[in-house]
């Protein structure tokens, strides 16, 4: 399978994944009530990452395709996490509890605000350590958000209503956006660990592989 075919296949799988998350949300498959743990959402986060790791582990062709992706572009995609201010707005209106909204919102905003700088200035061997640390912080932010969301839905249900993150439109964040962003972080970390002095040189942008 050549690069173009992998691009089409990847985009098709992402579209199908989004559609599945949307349809499952319309059927309230991610809604759980205390004291039941939020297993459907946790599975929705973990399963795509597990599939990705298995695929990249058993397929050299897919692994080469993944490593050919531009780390600047993958990092820049995290800029949309500036939208984390939405969590703070929903907290202000009493829709989301502060235990979840504050760390998730502030963490996402910090990662989103710094993503352009990291993508344009730090995605090179000269800044390998800082680049890796930023990617690790991005993963930590997502893990904390998922953990706090699970804790809130399990221990502190908000009245008779289901937890807002388990129903549309917010359910698309933990069931689609979060695992996708985690995969992007994993790819960038894997790429950076193989960087050599001549790879991704900021002096020669043309040497950077294109998406």
Q: Which sequence spans correspond to the domains of the chain? A: 3-207
24-47: pLDDT as tens digits: 999 999 998 777 788 999 999 999
The span from the CA of 139 to the CA of 132, in Å, is 11
- Residue 105 is predicted with a pLDDT of 98
pLDDT confidence tier of residue 70, bands split at 50, 70 and 90: very high
The span from the CA of 41 to the CA of 145, in Å, is 13
User: Global pTM?
Assistant: 0.90
C-alpha pair distances (Å), 181 with each of 95, 154, 157, 209? 24, 24, 27, 20
172-195: pLDDT as tens digits: 999 999 999 999 999 999 999 999
Token pair in block for residue 80 = 């949309």
The span from the CA of 39 to the CA of 122, in Å, is 37
Q: How far apart are the first and last CA of the chain?
A: 16
Question: In whole numbers, what is the pLDDT of the chain averaged over residues?
Answer: 91
């Amino acid at each position: 399978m050549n690069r173009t075919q992998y691009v089409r296949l990847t985009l098709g799988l992402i579209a199908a994944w989004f559609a599945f998350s949307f349809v499952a949300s319309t059927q309230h498959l991610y809604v759980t009530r205390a004291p039941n743990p939020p297993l459907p959402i946790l599975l929705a986060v973990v399963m795509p990452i597990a599939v990705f790791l298995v695929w990249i582990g058993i397929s050299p062709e897919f692994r080469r395709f993944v490593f050919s992706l531009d780390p600047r572009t993958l990092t820049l995609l995290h800029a949309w996490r500036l939208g984390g201010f939405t969590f703070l707005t929903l907290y202000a209106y009493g829709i989301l509890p502060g235990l979840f909204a504050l760390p998730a919102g502030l963490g996402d905003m910090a990662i989103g605000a710094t993503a352009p700088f990291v993508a344009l200035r730090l995605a090179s061997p000269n800044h390998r350590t800082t680049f890796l640390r930023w990617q690790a912080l991005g993963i930590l932010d997502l893990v904390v958000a998922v953990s706090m969301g699970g804790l809130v839905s399990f221990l502190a249900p908000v009245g008779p209503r289901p937890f807002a993150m388990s129903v549309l439109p917010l359910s698309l964040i933990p069931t689609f956006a979060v695992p996708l962003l985690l995969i992007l972080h994993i790819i960038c970390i894997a790429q950076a660990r193989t960087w050599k002095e001549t790879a991704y040189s900021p002096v020669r942008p043309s040497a950077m592989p294109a998406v």
